[in-house]
A and B are shown apart, each in its own frame.
Chain A
């Protein structure tokens, strides 16, 4: 089955700086890569996703890049703000499969 590895496990950044989280996956047939944000006391919520037919996708301060050859994808948060502090999860799945394989999560802390 799919194995998703996520790094780093914790990340502390100064407000206004950028944050980058990286994930690798093992199944070359995976072609859907979502990112979820989990705030304290809440369930994860989708913030951005990318499919294998594109290499990059951007939504305001967040962007995701995908390298299918190397089987890795990354989340980039620019101009970080205190409300970006949360746990972030990457995930991967095949197009005909609703099951997601999640990474272990990254706890991001934005220092004021």
Chain B
């Protein structure tokens, strides 16, 4: 069974902390994505990656960065967390047909 896993289901951090969200896929997909999900706004793309060490900004990259050192792992970094980054974060990887497989999500609360 194909799988995308995320390092935490729930995370609570303080304003100004550096936050790492990890995502691992076991499908050998080249394309990986980070979204945030907020009520009434759907899924908004933060960053995506087409290959190892390659990254591109999505629609809302401000305040975030990413790292893709290995094909199976795509990390989202909040350099200095702020309260407006409290959200559900979803990682996905995509097959050649562009079917995206999502992880279960990380609910991040920034106090």
Contacts and interface: CB of A to CB of B under 8 A. Distances in A.
Interface of A: 1, 4, 6, 9, 32, 34, 36, 41-46, 49, 89, 93, 98-100, 102-105
A34 B99 contact: yes
A34 B43 CA distance: 14
B46 to A, nearest CB: 12
Contacts, number: 53
A20 B102 CA distance: 24
A105 B103 CA distance: 18
B99 A49 contact: yes
B59 A32 contact: no
A103 B40 CA distance: 9
A93 B102 CA distance: 17
B104 A42 contact: yes
Nearest to A45: B102
Nearest to B9: A41
Contacts of A45: 102
